[in-house]
Each structure stands twice: as structure tokens, then as C-alpha cells.
Structure 1
Amino acid sequence: KLMTLQWREEDNGLDGFYKNNLDKSLDIQALSYYHRKDGKVVALWKRSKAALSDDEGTTFSTPVKVPTLTMAGGKQWGQRTDDGRYAICYNPIEMDEHRFPLVIITGDDGAIFDNMLLVQGEVPPRRFFGRWKDFGPCYMRGMEEGNGNPPGNDMWLSYSMNKEDIWISRIPTPVRYEVKGNIADDFNALQNNGSVSDWNIYAPQWAPVTVVATPQKQGKCLELADKDPYDYARAIRVFEESSQIECSLTVSPAQNKTGSLEIDLTDRYGNRPVRLRFDDKGNIVVTDGGTEKIVQTYDASQWYTLTFSVNAQLAGGSFDLAINGKKVVEKATLAEAVKSVERLSLRTGPYRDLPNRKTPNEDPHPPLAGADEPVATAIFFVDDVMVKKR
């Protein structure tokens, strides 16, 4: 009965199939549930509603609005994860028109949750207008108890982005948010076309992030390919937070007349103090304060070793950059003042900050031109990512 109870809101039959004490007048929708370690069933619904059951869903406590779960009409999902802990995923916003970001909170007992973390913060452009086509991840669901468990210890979520494409998120467990120690990723231990351990990957169908054989040398590397006219591939590596770091990586563009790769070093909030771009004209461009500067050109199918030395501070923060051992930037001003950095971000398209909380979602607009037609593929290979404190 628990597995079928979420049908109840669409099934108004009078055959008594749904035998419980939940009155049909209650404003509860889109049930998700899990079993706590004490055997109680925790029931979750839209709009922060929750209840408990001691008898496998025959009777429930009166559903209440959980004051610490901020949400609107988006679905929430709760489950026990393979590491023996618990997770709830939802959109932490009290606006029905916007369903972003998608977050996760975790806990040990299924009752107390903490450490809100981002699962999906990207919102690609909405290709088509439609009624109630809310921005962000919608209709989010996971793997229900008793409905199978895929190999591995990952948590799986599905959702409809902007109520258009169906997306899948794989969340490794235990869920973690910080890294300690130096980073040295050469990707050689990973499987071709397999998952990218320790990286956060955003990969639309037309912009995959893949482990491949390294071109022109032995081993494996990361490939970011992009033929999407409006979206991009993105890979993020979290490292130990610090105000003084050295970060190096090697990059090989497969072309120099189309596509771009934007490389940012960011803080925990996503602020981008250090910015570098391989542009679509064959230039390597660096941001110095508020000014973009071409530091050199680049050729297709050549490897470039980028070495950043970063001094992150609110006043006087700066960075140096060397390319293939030659210093090309010295004491460049940070593009944004930050206290520290903790992420390397690779992105095959320009930074976007729309939609935001003020973007209307019901204003009619024509379909995005050419949204269903791929553009020329741009490919960038990335290898030997290293980060250490200075």
C-alpha cells in the first residue's frame, strides 16, 4: 500500500483501495517515504508536509508542515542511502514558478538532517514556452524502497529540467562536501566512458564529459565535448579550501576556431576570482581585475600546461599564471574579492546567472532558434590536475 499510495491524488475511485486514515480533503501530494531505524515510516509530501506511520501506512499521524523545510510546490524525495544514513532532496525556495536549485540534506537517524549541499545548480535556457513550465529541476524522484537497488553505493535521482528534458543525477555515498590534502588527478585509474570519481559533472546529451584515451600520449584524460547551441559541459573539482594555492592542469584543444573552454578557480559560493578562457579565435584570455587580456595564442591538438599561483584575500588578492613554464601573468588582480578558493571549474560555454528569482516564467516567448540542431563540435582534453597549498 505504501508503494501505491502516491497514486491516490489522481485516483478518485470509491473501491476502498487506499485504506488509511488520510482524509481526501488533506492538501498532500506526491508522497515519498522511507523507514527509520526504529521501524517508523516517514511520509513526505509537497509544501513541506510530513507524517509518521507505525503500521506500514495503514494509519498516519496528522500531516504537519515542517517549519525547517523551505519549499513550495516542487516534489521532495527522502530515502535511506546505501551507507546506512538518510537523505532528503528538494528545491529550497518558496516560489512555485522557480524550482532551483536542487539540494540534498543528510542525517544519521532519519529525523534530524543537516549539511545542505547542492545537487543541481545549473538551469539551462528554456527552449520552449508553456504554461506552468517552471525553471529548474521538476518532478524529482528517486529509487523507491523495494523497487530494486542498482549496483554500487550511489543514490540516483531523476527530474525534468525546465519540464523539458529528463535528467539523471548520481550522488555517491557517503555524501561529502569537503576535501583534505593535495590533489593529483591523472584519470589513469578510471574506466573509459565511466564515472569521474571525485568530480562534479554536468553533462547534457550534446555536451558529454568523458574519460578517454589521451591523444598524443599514453594514459587517460578527461574529454569535454560540446555541440549544444545553448548549453555546455561542466566539470568541477573540489579541493581543500585555502587562501594560498598552486593549481596546475594540462589542456589540449582539438580545434582553435570554434568553441571555448572557460577555466575558473572559485570559492565555496561560486565567486570566480581567477578566470581564463580558450576562446573561439585561438586566443588564451585572462581576466585581470575588470579587464580581459589576451596573453597568447593557442594551436589545435597541442598541450598547454597552465600553472596558477593564487593569493586569495579581500584586499590586494592576486594571482600569477605560467603557460608551459613561461610566466605570462604576474600579480593580476582577482576578478572578485574572496577570502579563499576551493574549486576548479571547467566549462565549455560562458558563465550564466539567469534565470534568477526575478525572471518571469509565464511571459510568452518564441522557441529558441535552432535549439534542436547541433552546432559544430568543440572538444577539449584535460589531464594532470594538481592542487596544493603554498
Structure 2
Amino acid sequence: MKNIILHIFILLFTFFRGVGQKPQLQYVGDDHTCNTNFHDGQMLPSIGTHNFQILRANRSYPNLADDLGWTYNHAPNLAYWNGFFWCQYLSTPMGEHSEPGISLITKSKDGILWEKPKIIFPIYFYYEKAQKYVEVKNTIMHQRMAFYVAPNGRLLVFGHYGGNDGDGIGRVVREVKNDFNFGPIYFIRVNDDWKGNVAYPLYKDSSDQEFVKACNDFLGDPVRRIQWWEEDFLAHDAQSFYLPYERQKAFSFYSISDSLKIGLFKSRMTIITMDGGTRWSEPSPSASFKYGGAKIWGQKLDNNQYALVYNPTDNKNRHPLGVAISDDGLNFNNLSLVHGEVPVKRYWGIEKRPGPQYVRGISEGNGNPPGNDLWVVYSVSKEDIWVSKIPVPISRLQNGKIEDNFNEASSMDIIKGWNIYRPKWCPVSIRKISTKNDKSLCLKDFDPLDYAKALRVLEKQIKNTISFDLFLETMNAPFFVDLNNSLGQALIRFSVNKKNEITIEGLSGNKNKKIFLKRKQWYPIKIKYDAKNASYDITIKNLMEKKDLCFLSEGIPQRIEFRTGFYRLNRKIQEYKSGDQRVVGWDEKGAEQPVEPTEVCIDNFKTHQ
């Protein structure tokens, strides 16, 4: 049946093309933008999504990061090859287009724990004559793609020395070995107008004929090589080697069939091919999609749906990161949240725009990890590198009761059904607690400027009872429990401070008398709410019972979150730390070393209706 529908669709496409029309990529829902006054856009979460930090930049203690100490890290790419995830990204000492620039690469067995990055393309030096000495210069790197798994199984990594204005040095290539070592660097395409020194040999000079064949296979691919167009648009053969149109930026694509493919660019521009990529329609805007100046990623999922991942804004903001889904690859709907956290930028730098941005997934042919999940990489504020695991099918609504005791978890790091925000210094995992034999969900935080968060989407119920057990291991920062409405606004909030004192927000005076919890002891907690009356009861067994308390705002509970820090999603985000790109900013103090940890555990989480 699917083949019949696809055949009809192709016939219709051919007809429309003949009369000068083409199918339109469009967002058909009403929620095509988000509220960027909040970091998460007040969007519904994509259930079960896990955010993992790959790299936390650190200038003064580079051994805690990449052994380099550079604080501009951006534009990551992703592949899965020979049982490992591979991530490549750009780096400069402090800001965008600030020389020198390099590219680094890291790998991971599970997508969660990543090895220390290695330099894959080093600083490129070139020389110009000066009055007394030879003047030594260097350049940045700028590329929109990195990986290519060739038909012969070789993994190639590409980079581009120079910017995206068409006058760079050229494209380089290197083979990655399975043992995390690399082959020699070669140029695969030198800029036609480059007059300086060419520091590496051409790929055809390699004695490894399988490597040469892998390079030729890429050069002969009319679809994938469009990813080079942006930096190489002034090449003498650009109109035949790439596309005969005005240059566009940051190409990605996905296939609806072998012949029908959709191409995506920045600035909402799209192209379509019906012959597998030999001829493409002229780039045109997709007006119903709203996103700022950052990249968009499209991918066919393992369940035969399609996903677009982007910043769904109607302004230049690059937060939050969301995902939309489609059954046919053209009509998208049901936006949900992938990454909605924007911590304070720790380092100043030129054009370090805040937010999760420049998203990339695994291109067709570049591997498929175990499971049905959608994996995407991106930078946060052009400072840190992150990866997200999004369960497929992608959903934003919970149906039915929840009963989580974590004993059946097959992984200590993947918590099924939960949304996890996990910076490097804020691990969230399942582990055994010394006071009992079964497993618990634990949040640990030793980051001075970030926090750990675990969120569970709930079924929308006017009345319900939620219960869980709480365990305080160590307390050096406040811990919060929020029961939120569909917009993420807290209806109920209570916290525990580093003195173990519990506080219920919205109460004052005698109603909120001091109550202290003991560390290394389990406390059963029960919250019974009635959204119609905007009221709730809260009980901590053998310690506290309060009834008929009032909601903090309007709505029906639809998620609960456990967090090792103050709520910050309404914090005003400045594009530049100084407030002006022309004014030097500053680095945050006390951001480069771990602090004393806070660790809290949750168990036996239940909803009773």
C-alpha cells in the first residue's frame, strides 16, 4: 500500500513540475513558533529525550576538557561507524572567525560517555613576503559537513581551511582508523584562486588506492557534495559541480525515495530533486517554517516517519531546539522540545550567540546506531558541544499511569520515559544506594553554573496523586521539585536547601514552619492535587502533612521535574555578554573547577490514576 501511495505521489510531483509547480515543504500545525521569552519556548517536551554534554570548555584547566583550553566550540557533525559514534567540531581560542582555527574529533561507544577529543585538522600556516622576514599567517576552518562512510567501508573526515566567502584555501580530507588514529592529511579540492602555499599533497598522490577510491566516490556523489557549496561557491565549476543557482548555506537532505529527495538550507530555503540528485529545483523559501539564522536538520526515521530539528522561532534567537514530525516527508506537525536549557555563557567571545544551535544528525549512509532513536549533535552558545538521544516514535503526550522503580533498567544512563538534562559535571544516572539493594534515579551536581535535571511527562488529569521516595546523599546546593502545567509554569514547588530544610513555595509564616530532612534516609512523599480547585495536599511520611494548599499559577499538571538548581528558564538572555558586540565582554568567575557536590535520589515514582 505504501508503494502505491508513493507511486501516486511521484506521478503528482511530475505533473506539478511540468506545470511549473512543486510540492511544498510546510508546517501544518498552529504551534509553528515558540515563546522565546523562555529558554524552553514553553514547549511540550519530546518524551524520553536525553541531553548529554560531550565537551565542557575550560580555558584555565584544559585537562578537564580537551587538553587545549579553547572556548569557541561549534558546528559539530555526527556519524556512526564500526560500533562507535563519531563527532567532529570546529574550535578557535575564543570567538567566531577568530584565527587560528582547527577541527577536533571524539568518539563514544554509547553516545553518552565520550573520549577526550583529538585534533583532526591542525592550524594551517601560510606565508607571505614581508619587507624583512617572511610573514607567517594562519586561518580559520569553516565546514558544514565532516563525515563520509564510503561504499568500501572507509571513514573519511573532511574540513575546509578558510571562511565561507569563497576565497579560502581549500578542502582537506583524512581517513579515520578504528583505533582512533588517523591517516595523512590531503587536499581533495583546492580553491581555484588560491595563490599561497599548499601544505598537503593532493589525495590522488596517496599510495592507498582504497582511500583514493573512497574520495572519488564522494566527489562523484551529486547530492552529498552540495554540502561543500557554501565555501566553494566561487569555484570555476561551481554551477556544474554544485548547483546553478544563487549560493545557499548549510545544506542537509533526506530521501523520501531513491529518486525523491528534499534539500534544506539556512534561511528557510528548500530544494527538491526527482531524479536522485542530478537536477534540483531552484531554492525557494518555505514560509510556514519559522526558524532564525541557524541550521535545520532533516532525517528519515527508522519507523518511516520524518523529522526536522531546528530552532522554531520567528526571530533571530537560537533557543530552544525542537523537533517536528511528518508521515509523508512534506507536511510536518507536532513540534516538541529537544533541548530547552541555556546556562550562562562562561566565556566571552565574538559572535557567541546563546542557545542550542547548528544541529546535525547522522546523514544517510553514515551509519545507524542500535535502536530506533534519533541522535543529533549541536553546540550550546558556541561554547560547549552536546548530543541528544530522542526516542522514536517521537511523542509529546503521556497516556496512562506511571510506575517507575528503576529496578528493570537495562542501562544505568538511559532512563526510559524520563527527559534528562546531563552536563558533564551534573551526571544523572541509575545506581544502587547503600541503604537498600534496589536501584534509584540519582542526580549529582558539582557544576558551579549549571544543574542536573530529570523530568517526567504526566498524563493530563484534573485530579491525581503522585508519590515518590526522596533520598538526600549530600546537599551543597538547593534541590527543587516542580509540578508544572503544559507551559512549564510551576503549579507546585518545594525545595530542600543545603541545611536540609524543606520549603514549600507560596507559604509564609506559621504555614511554612521549619522542617528538616535527614541525610542518607528515605522519605516517602505524596502530592494529591485537584486542578479544578487549584489546590493540593502534600505529605512527607511521619514528618509533615499539609492540606488545601493553593497552586502557584493556573493549569493542569502535565510534568514533574527534579532539579539541582534554581529555576532559570525565564532569565533574560543577552546576545552578547557586554550587551554590545562592539564592547568587550567578560568571563564568569569561579566557573572552571568543580564545587562540592549535591546528590539526591528518587525511587518508586508513581501516578495513581
Is structure 2 residue 569 aligned with structure 1 residue 348? no
Structure 2 length as normaliser, TM-score?
0.60
CA RMSD of aligned residues (A): 2.0
CA distance in 2, matches of 1:111, 1:62: 17
**Residue of structure 1 equivalent to 2:294:** 74
Structure 1 residue matching 2:458: 3-state secondary structure: strand
Structure 1 residue matching 2:227: 3-state secondary structure: helix
**Residue of structure 2 equivalent to 1:238:** 457
Equivalences for residues 122-133 of structure 1 within 5 A? 122-133=341-352
**Stretch of structure 1 that moved more, 342-351 or 283-292:** 283-292
Shift in Å at residue 4 of structure 1? 2.5
Correspondent of 2:437 among 191, 204, 218? 218
CA distance in 1, matches of 2:381, 2:491: 30
Shift in Å at residue 215 of structure 1? 2.8
CA distance in 1, matches of 2:452, 2:422: 5
Shift in Å at residue 58 of structure 1? 2.0
- The residue type equivalent to 2:271 in the other structure is A
CA distance in 1, matches of 2:264, 2:425: 35
CA distance in 2, matches of 1:214, 1:365: 44
- The residue type equivalent to 1:3 in the other structure is R
CA distance in 1, matches of 2:513, 2:399: 34
Correspondent of 1:35 among 248, 255, 279? 255
Is structure 2 residue 504 aligned with structure 1 residue 286? yes
Structure 1 residue matching 2:249: 3-state secondary structure: coil
**Stretch of structure 1 that moved more, 73-82 or 247-256:** 247-256
CA radius of gyration, larger in: 2
Structure 2 residue matching 1:305: 3-state secondary structure: strand
Q: Deviations over 1:5-45 (max 9, x none)?
A: 2111112463637735723533x110110001474110000
Residues 327/37 of structure 1: CA separation in 2 closer, same or farther (3 Å cut): farther
CA distance in 2, matches of 1:25, 1:52: 15
- The residue type equivalent to 1:105 in the other structure is A
Structure 1 length as normaliser, TM-score?
0.93
Equivalences for residues 25-104 of structure 1 within 5 A? 25-26=246-247, 28-37=248-257, 39-96=259-316, 98-104=317-323
Is structure 2 residue 332 aligned with structure 1 residue 116? no
- The residue type equivalent to 1:84 in the other structure is N
CA distance in 2, matches of 1:239, 1:140: 28
CA distance in 2, matches of 1:174, 1:18: 39
Structure 2 residue matching 1:4: 3-state secondary structure: helix
**Residue of structure 2 equivalent to 1:190:** 409
Structure 2 residue matching 1:385: 3-state secondary structure: strand
Correspondent of 2:597 among 357, 373, 377? 377
Is structure 2 residue 465 aligned with structure 1 residue 249? no
**Residue of structure 1 equivalent to 2:540:** 323
**Residue of structure 1 equivalent to 2:98:** none
Q: Deviations over 1:95-141 (max 9, x none)?
A: 33x20010100011101111010111111111112221111012211
**Residue of structure 1 equivalent to 2:135:** none
Aligned residue pairs total 382
Tell whether the 8 Å contact from 2:525 to 2:540 is kept in structure 1 after alignment. Answer: yes
Is structure 2 residue 482 aligned with structure 1 residue 261? no
**Stretch of structure 1 that moved more, 362-371 or 197-206:** 362-371
CA distance in 2, matches of 1:244, 1:299: 31
The runs of 5 or more residues in structure 2 that have no matched partner are 1-220
CA distance in 1, matches of 2:276, 2:513: 65
CA distance in 2, matches of 1:69, 1:105: 10
The structure whose residues are more often helix, as a share, is 2
Shift in Å at residue 180 of structure 1? 1.3
**Residue of structure 1 equivalent to 2:237:** 16
CA distance in 2, matches of 1:302, 1:21: 64
Structure 2 residue matching 1:5: 3-state secondary structure: helix
Shift in Å at residue 232 of structure 1? 0.3
Shift in Å at residue 168 of structure 1? 0.4
Tell whether the 8 Å contact from 2:225 to 2:242 is kept in structure 1 after alignment. Answer: no
Is structure 2 residue 514 aligned with structure 1 residue 300? no
Q: Deviations over 1:68-114 (max 9, x none)?
A: 10012100000001111100011012333x20010100011101111
The runs of 5 or more residues in structure 1 that have no matched partner are none
Tell whether the 8 Å contact from 2:259 to 2:275 is kept in structure 1 after alignment. Answer: no
The structure whose residues are more often strand, as a share, is 1
Q: Percent identity between the aligned chains?
A: 33
**Residue of structure 2 equivalent to 1:386:** 606
